[in-house]
Amino acid sequence: MKFRLMVLMLAVALMAGTFVSARDNHKNIVETAVEAGGFTTLAKALEATGLIETLQGKGPFTVFAPTDEAFAKLPPGTLQSLLNNKEKLKEILLYHVVSGKVMAKDVVKLKSAKTVQGSSIQISARNGKVMIDNAIVIKADISASNGVIHVIDSVILPKSN
């Protein structure tokens, strides 16, 4: 069992492309994501819902952050519709956030996690990949002063959506 866990942790680290320092940086989650690039749609959605201030707060938070490409996978018109329905968009964004700082080595030990939105995300490992609902973690353990970011390749939706 320990060997399997070590292999899974190594797979997550390799998916990240590099080992990310466990030491927190001095930037919060929002600043870290903006600096990393590839999250302009997420930043726009956070701004539209007033969640930027929340994710700049003390935390700690774990954010499963969809890339711009992940948002582009949504059906045509969906993003604009969500930007016009700020409450629904806020619910979806909060579904991507878990309270506490959950590093990859801890994520792989979980089967699910309760989100700030109130529903639980499903966590699994399939074919050497860590899945959050139906999204693949493509980069893990991006440390921020108030938590951690795990990059995912799809927008995840609460069951009610």
For residue 150, the cross-strand partners are 64
Alpha-carbon separation of residue 5 from 18, 65, 81 (angstroms): 19, 24, 41
The answer to the question of residue 160 being in a domain is: no
The count of other CB atoms within 10 Å of the CB of residue 147 is 25
Question: Domains in the chain: how many in total?
Answer: 1
The answer to the question of residue 30 being in a domain is: yes
> CA 20, CA 1: separation in Å to the nearest integer?
25
pLDDT-derived band at 158 (thresholds 50, 70, 90) equals: very high
For residue 149, the cross-strand partners are 63, 142
The answer to the question of residue 9 being in a domain is: yes
* CATH number for 79: 2.30.180.10
The answer to the question of residue 45 being in a domain is: yes
Structure-block tokens of residue 69: 């490409």
Which pTM value belongs to this model?
0.82
The answer to the question of residue 157 being in a domain is: no
Q: What is the pLDDT of residues 23-70, one digit of tens each?
A: 446 899 999 998 888 999 999 999 999 999 999 999 999 999 999 999
Of 150, 154, 161, 157, the C-alpha closest to 13 is 150
The answer to the question of residue 120 being in a domain is: yes
Domain range for 42 = 2-152
